[in-house]
Structure 1
Amino acid sequence: MSTPPAPVVVPELVAALRADLTAAAYTVEHVEDLLGPVAAGALDRGEALPALRATEPAAPTGGDPAAVLTRCFVLGVPVPVRALAAALPGVGVEAAALLGLVDAAGRGPDDEVRARVDLRPYAASDGAGEAAWWVVSDLGELATGGALRTDHVLGVGGASVTLAQATVRDPRRRVLDLGTGCGVQALHASRHAEHVVATDLSTRALAFAAFTTALAGLGPDRVELRAGSMLEPVTDDTFDLVVSNPPFVITPRRADVPAYDYRDGGRAGDDLVRDLVTGVGAVLAPGGVAQMLANWEIRDGEEWHERIGAWVDASGLDAWVVQRDEQDPAQYAETWIRDGGTTPADRAAWTARYGAWLDDLASRDVASVGFGIVTLRRPATGRPTLRRLESQTGSLRQPLGPVLAAGLAAHDAVTALSDDDLAARHLTVAPDVTEERYLEPGAVDPRVVLLRQGGGFGRTVQAGTALAAFVGACDGELTAGQIVGALGALLDVPAADVAADVLPSVRGLLADGLLTLA
């Protein structure tokens, strides 16, 4: 299949397009209102027919401009010249074609115009608050009716949103978006960074990223684009934050298995993720954080955290790894074969690719593949003190970025406190924490006390009698040492014994955010 040209940035025309999209109320909220819940839900599942019917009144004459734009740039159906001209009066159809957004069959009002790109509104909530932009990418399978090309530039997907929500958003001077694709992470980073460098191996991806960021009003002084593989374009730089949704998919290295630029980094197994985890510290400034999505192989006879744990140990960085999912080889193969547009209906291709994936994973004794969020940090001084690898496969309350940022800060605070320092501090229970007590009928004392976290990771901690009583007294009035002393008197136990029993757990509750330092 031939590769369509990427969009071209002409600043004055992009500015006119931005004004037109704004005037058309081409927003996520307005488009969802136009479609209605049924059509919007179907579209999220990859079914276009309800959305086509919902926007059909706009097809002949124009109607609601957002409906015309949705039909053209999201659903990929031709619209008349006069309809698109009415929806984009400032930039016009000819200029839209000059920008590489559409192809027009002619200049007559009833001649058809067909989109060359996917241009859609995007709204998200991250640690910096609500945000809305427009994102430009290649048309997907829903619009083209065919399988993706290997040089396909992906739009906003679930992984993009996951990373955006998990990224720490405190102010940063320099941010690197490694493997920017269509530029989504660079958009998010631009809100809390003085300067963003966005890299990609694909020059087509960089062209889309240039258009997406220009459409957001971000020039090269705010978002700088560089071509190259992995860390090569930034070897002489350092950054306060690195974000990456890298091409982490473990793909068989066979000629009959397509290698998609957006998901396959051209390495065997999970070598690309290993190299990124172990190498990203070279471009992190002291105190700098790197966050990435990753897949890692879990070999037969190993625990999930052993392989990724060895990489973070080799990195020399603080590390917090959260495994969000784990798939066996068959599930993993099915996921990524479907992602490329092959279905079981295409029996020959499906069987060949399925077999290739199973053979490739079996050749390295892979029992399953883990997926998760990796957060690394270069210590501001000294050696790393954080090594946290945990599996959290349940639902999380988003955005997760503030929770991770608070967790890093809490780790630093708790690590710096001696037991005497901790005893002198005033503690409070986090506002999202509740307590559950389970008693047998007629019993005075509970058999089980659970502390539940309502936000973030939604952790549940089983507390013994002394710990539950300690937490119940953490209202900021007494110091931790005073509470320990009171519990010792109440339980008729030496205060030192209560401290030895309670304070290690208190440190864990502080690190997890169930308790806070007043």
Structure 2
Amino acid sequence: MHTLPDIGADPAATTALAADLDAAGFTVDRVDALWGTEAAASLHRGSRVAALRALAARETSPLGTLATLFVLGLPTPRADAAAAFPTAGLDAVVAAGLLAADGDEVHPTVDLRPYAFVDDLGAGSWWIVSDLGELALGHAISEEHVLGIGGATTTLSGLQVPVPVRTVLDLGTGCGIQAMHARRFAEHVVATDISRRALDIARFNAQLNGIDGIDFRYGSLFEPVAGERFDRIVSNPPFVITPRRPGVPSYEYRDGGMVGDALVETVLRGLSEHLEPGGTAQLLGNWEYHWGVDGLDRVRSWFADTDLDAWVIERERQDPTSYAETWIRDGGTKPGTPEFDTLMGAWLDDFADRRVTGVGFGYVVVRRALPGGTASLRRFERVPETLGSNPAGLGATVARVLDAAAWLAAHDDAALATAHLTVAGDVTEERYYWPGNDDPTVMTLVQGGGLGRRVDADTALAAFVGACDGDLSVAAIVGALAQITGVDEQVLAADLLPVARDLVLDGLLLPA
């Protein structure tokens, strides 16, 4: 079993280490430029060969040494490593648990790589420590593995609402990346985890990047924050559905130790107790489909007796076999081995015993009602289409949808009829014609940002949206269209008002 090192250093040593990383130009762009886009793509697919060949053609530099050690996970000569840390000193980096010295060579004990992002406050970059992956280790990862930056990481960070608040809870912080993102919009962040090692790494990452105001706490789920409420909760919980059977490894970063999707249910049911009135939550999760029971219907039932607005987006659904293969490979067990086959059997037996027919994955957005208010948004949908032009920046879309839901709840049909609406700036219209015909056969409203919605429109809806420029009320536009088309005004209003509500919620139409 691979022994994981303790991670930590005094503030002075961490500051010196950051100075060395900065002086070497240890950034995403500079590292990618070391070996080029093709080698970077190959590295992402799990092969270091192209990157190593590119490095071999260059002279040794501190940047090349850092990339070899921490990105490729390979040893370097001790002299090269010492040259890469002129301020901190190699001994301090070894003492911090990032490297191990072995004679004339130095080996990496963690993954440390640059990370770049853009949010509503602008562009930013950090260095993130996590545990070495399967490629560097050459074998399956440890059950205490602390995960670094991945697709789920960027999804959730982009999903966070970019609105300043007082307090945020990061439930299951892992390497600390979500807490660090949350701190950009919060005065104070509490980050919890059941892994003391994860908390050590998260604390080190915050310190390495000069981020204060984060309180790291040990414990399971909401136990470390019993009796506390927050303006925002974010979580990429350990939602992976893993058989609770002997011989099946349970990874702290992804497996919550409960049967099926019970951990996600527990987290969602606990949100109301820990959100301030008007507070929001953004989470990722899995949910099971059972024989005769839709997965989203199961999620809907978890909110039935709460005062929470809920918007659940299922982005993907996997059959039991595909799901099992995905997560067994994620742990480093290779297909075609006896170990892989044994784990597949355990997974499929578990799904069959519990009558699971599939697993959905997606996003959960929640808002607690204000005092005296009630839940006004209960939306459970499948959005498998490609995201809009900026999938990493969905937080602004989340904020707008929540605002739109509140506006719609305050406007019944009579109030909506008196409202003035405008078309959002990212909305275009596609029209398709049969050859030789003057009238379009298909019209589609297309949203350029957000979730990239596409809404089929008939002539009346296209004309209605086209007239929403803020000058006329909804009722005035409907009346004019009824007069032009010869359709009864009340009948036309009954057709258009529900669609107008959906378009406001989706962001294609905006209250003027």
TM-score > 0.5 by shorter chain: yes
Residue 9 of structure 2 contacts residue 95 of structure 2 at CA under 8 Å; is this kept in 1? no
Alignment partner, residue 245 of structure 1:
236
- 1:50-65 mapped onto 2 (5 Å cutoff): 50-57=50-57, 63-65=60-62
Alignment partner, residue 129 of structure 2:
136
- 1:454-493 mapped onto 2 (5 Å cutoff): 454-493=448-487
Structure 1 pair 400–32 and aligned structure 2 pair: CA distance change class (3 A): same
CA RMSD of aligned residues (A): 1.5
> What SS is found at the alignment partner of 1:449?
strand
- 1:392-407 mapped onto 2 (5 Å cutoff): 392-397=383-388, 398=391, 399-407=393-401
In the TM superposition, residue 127 of structure 1 has moved relative to its aligned partner by 4.7
Residue 127 of structure 1 contacts residue 165 of structure 1 at CA under 8 Å; is this kept in 2? no
Alignment partner, residue 372 of structure 1:
362
Alignment partner, residue 346 of structure 2:
356
> What SS is found at the alignment partner of 2:379?
strand
User: Which aligned segments of 4 or more residues in structure 1 are displaced greater than 6 angstroms?
Assistant: none
Residue 288 of structure 2 contacts residue 360 of structure 2 at CA under 8 Å; is this kept in 1? yes
Alignment partner, residue 19 of structure 2:
19
Alignment partner, residue 8 of structure 2:
8
| Residues in 1 aligned to 2:437 and 2:429: alpha-carbon distance in whole angstroms | 18
| Residues in 1 aligned to 2:95 and 2:166: alpha-carbon distance in whole angstroms | 36
1:288 lines up with 2:279 in the alignment? yes
Alignment deviations for residues 76-116 of structure 1 (CA, whole Å, 9 cap, x no partner): 2111222122222110101111111111124xxxx211111
| Residues in 1 aligned to 2:434 and 2:294: alpha-carbon distance in whole angstroms | 38
* TM-score in terms of structure 1 length: 0.95
Q: Which of these residues, 428, 433, 441, is aligned with residue 434 of structure 1? A: 428
In the TM superposition, residue 128 of structure 1 has moved relative to its aligned partner by 4.3
Alignment deviations for residues 286-328 of structure 1 (CA, whole Å, 9 cap, x no partner): 1111111111110012223111111122443110000011010
| Residues in 1 aligned to 2:66 and 2:304: alpha-carbon distance in whole angstroms | 50
Residue 307 of structure 2 contacts residue 369 of structure 2 at CA under 8 Å; is this kept in 1? no
| Residues in 2 aligned to 1:112 and 1:497: alpha-carbon distance in whole angstroms | 80
Alignment partner, residue 28 of structure 1:
28
| Residues in 1 aligned to 2:63 and 2:460: alpha-carbon distance in whole angstroms | 60
Amino acid at match of 1:303: D
Residue 259 of structure 1 contacts residue 266 of structure 1 at CA under 8 Å; is this kept in 2? yes
In the TM superposition, residue 131 of structure 1 has moved relative to its aligned partner by 2.2
Alignment partner, residue 99 of structure 1:
96
Structure 1 pair 128–305 and aligned structure 2 pair: CA distance change class (3 A): farther
Residue 9 of structure 1 contacts residue 210 of structure 1 at CA under 8 Å; is this kept in 2? no
**Unpaired segments ≥5 residues, structure 2:** none
1:420 lines up with 2:411 in the alignment? no
Residue 127 of structure 1 contacts residue 401 of structure 1 at CA under 8 Å; is this kept in 2? no
| Residues in 1 aligned to 2:360 and 2:370: alpha-carbon distance in whole angstroms | 30
| Residues in 2 aligned to 1:356 and 1:128: alpha-carbon distance in whole angstroms | 46
Residue 320 of structure 2 contacts residue 359 of structure 2 at CA under 8 Å; is this kept in 1? yes
| Residues in 1 aligned to 2:384 and 2:108: alpha-carbon distance in whole angstroms | 39
* TM-score in terms of structure 2 length: 0.96
Alignment deviations for residues 355-405 of structure 1 (CA, whole Å, 9 cap, x no partner): 000000111110000011111111123111110011111211212111111
Alignment partner, residue 172 of structure 2:
179
1:228 lines up with 2:219 in the alignment? yes
Q: How many residues align?
A: 508
**Unpaired segments ≥5 residues, structure 1:** none
Structure 1 pair 349–315 and aligned structure 2 pair: CA distance change class (3 A): farther
| Residues in 2 aligned to 1:187 and 1:387: alpha-carbon distance in whole angstroms | 30
Residue 316 of structure 2 contacts residue 361 of structure 2 at CA under 8 Å; is this kept in 1? yes
More deviation, 335-344/305-314: 305-314
Alignment deviations for residues 435-457 of structure 1 (CA, whole Å, 9 cap, x no partner): 12233344343333211112111
Residue 77 of structure 2 contacts residue 106 of structure 2 at CA under 8 Å; is this kept in 1? yes
| Residues in 2 aligned to 1:423 and 1:292: alpha-carbon distance in whole angstroms | 35
| Residues in 2 aligned to 1:147 and 1:155: alpha-carbon distance in whole angstroms | 16
Structure 1 pair 80–464 and aligned structure 2 pair: CA distance change class (3 A): same
Q: Which of these residues, 77, 81, 100, is aligned with residue 74 of structure 2? A: 77
| Residues in 1 aligned to 2:220 and 2:52: alpha-carbon distance in whole angstroms | 40
Alignment deviations for residues 393-436 of structure 1 (CA, whole Å, 9 cap, x no partner): 12112121111111111111122113332233221111111112
| Residues in 2 aligned to 1:215 and 1:57: alpha-carbon distance in whole angstroms | 31
Amino acid at match of 1:466: A
- 1:31-50 mapped onto 2 (5 Å cutoff): 31-50=31-50
In the TM superposition, residue 2 of structure 1 has moved relative to its aligned partner by 4.5
Amino acid at match of 2:378: R
| Residues in 2 aligned to 1:250 and 1:513: alpha-carbon distance in whole angstroms | 34
Alignment partner, residue 501 of structure 2:
507
In the TM superposition, residue 57 of structure 1 has moved relative to its aligned partner by 4.9
| Residues in 2 aligned to 1:502 and 1:489: alpha-carbon distance in whole angstroms | 15
